[in-house]
Structure 1
Amino acid sequence: MRHPVRTPASAAATLAAALLLAGCADAEPMPEIAQGPRPSAAPATKAPAAAPPRTVGGAGSACALPVSFAVAEQWAPKAVEAPEDPEFAALTRQGPATVRCEVDAKPAGHVGFLRVWTAGKGSARAALEGFVAAERGASAVAYRESRSGAGPVTEVSYTVRDEAAEESKEERAFAVPTPKGTVIVHLGGLDTGEHRAMLPAYELARTTLKPL
């Protein structure tokens, strides 16, 4: 009996087929991959509520005034008491006004004060004009009508000559009438640079001013 002669190519094909069948028989199924839980987003945290601004002028505040207004952060208000000595008492007056309160800017990193003065009843413009006229070396005086938290006010800006520094510096103030008399809020400063840096505190006082 004659056996068929296998060529090398047919032998190779037969071997490959055998290996393929064996591999299919022995292959194990791929393990199933379980999808893990998705990470949840971090819970949103609420920003802390901003503390209300401090005020001066009302009951329990540092200064007893006919008005109240918000004080800039870190500025320190302090009542000014009239000295008994007439010579020193004169330092607390300027024209028709007497200083009642000063808010120190040094804790906030500035050199200057926001000062509150009071004058008698009458025209706020007249009281402000008298206040500026009593300022030695005042020039470039400009008045304008403005608004505050209490309504219309008269505002003034001017320069004062500092002979020691041989330069002029900017200052400004506003006046508002109240049933208890005129209130003048004045902002000075060591120099013009300090004055301009403190303007936000001045504007905060003007826009939040309320009569008491």
Structure 2
Amino acid sequence: MRHPIRTLAPVTATLAAGLLLTGCGEPEPVPEVTQGARPTAPTADASGAAPVKAGGTVGGPGSACALPVSFGLAEKWKPNAISDPENPEFAALTRQGPAVARCEVDAKPAGHVGYLRVWTAGKGPARTALEGFVKAEQNTSEVGYKESASGAGPVTEVTYTVYNKVMEESKEERAFAVATPKGTVIVHLGGLDTAEYRAMLPAYELARTTLKVL
């Protein structure tokens, strides 16, 4: 089932306002979230994080989101297709640099305030699309790129920090990109803050290591 564009409202702004926006602008109560474990020490390498139980896949035939790739989902994470992502009216929410948002995998059912978002861009080198994606983000710093392994072979990965004006603090984010015959796919991990981001890294690693180009 395709969900309205409100799924792309920034998580921090949502919590600050205490509501989610519906398609017609009416407030909807924020679902109660029982937060999962929040690590107190930095995770230097996601490969050292505890594994997460798989709960299905997204991107393949019959899945919630039609994508050029498929990957495994962490248990209880819920994928939703982005409604009408090409509509210029929603460009501020559905476009970032060369990429268009296609799918959001919500972590709230698993007890985290965050998401995996899948974006697509035109054909070309994965790193070029990923660099344009990050440059379009405001208040970024500590940007680092590397080549990583995935279930589909090499991918380009980026880690960076974003200053959150609502929370008045910086938070870590991460994404990987892979070129496919249908264009570049970017899978991005974001959350309320760095603690949530680190707690969700195993779900991101599951997506990367089970990635398949369709």
Classify the TM-score, shorter chain. Answer: 0.7 to 0.9
Aligned to 1:130: 132
C-alpha displacement of 1:107: 0.1
Aligned to 1:40: none
Q: 1:165 aligns with which of 152, 164, 167?
A: 167
2:149 aligned counterpart, secondary structure = strand
TM-score (normalised: structure 1): 0.74
C-alpha displacement of 1:89: 3.2
1:148 aligned counterpart, secondary structure = coil
Which runs of 5 or more structure 2 residues have no equivalent in the other structure?
1-52
Q: 1:61 aligns with which of 60, 63, 71?
A: 63
* C-alpha contact 2:54 2:74 (8 A) present in aligned 1: no
Quick one: distance in 1 between partners of 2:154 and 2:110? 29
Which letter maps to 2:164? Answer: D
Aligned to 1:102: 104
- Give the percent of matched residue pairs that are identical in Structure 1 and Structure 2: 77
Aligned to 1:177: 179
Quick one: distance in 2 between partners of 1:147 and 1:78? 26
1:133-212 pair list within 5 angstroms: 133-212=135-214
TM-score (normalised: structure 2): 0.73
Which letter maps to 2:82? Answer: V
Quick one: distance in 2 between partners of 1:201 and 1:109? 12
Aligned to 2:115: 113
If asked which structure has higher relative contact order (CA below 8 Å, sep 6+), I would say 2
Quick one: distance in 2 between partners of 1:62 and 1:151? 24
1:63 aligned counterpart, secondary structure = coil
Aligned residues: 162
Quick one: distance in 2 between partners of 1:123 and 1:96? 12
C-alpha displacement of 1:90: 3.3
Larger Rg: 1
Structure 1 residues 83, 57: closer, same or farther in 2, change over 3 A?
Answer: closer
Structure 1 residues 168, 122: closer, same or farther in 2, change over 3 A?
Answer: same
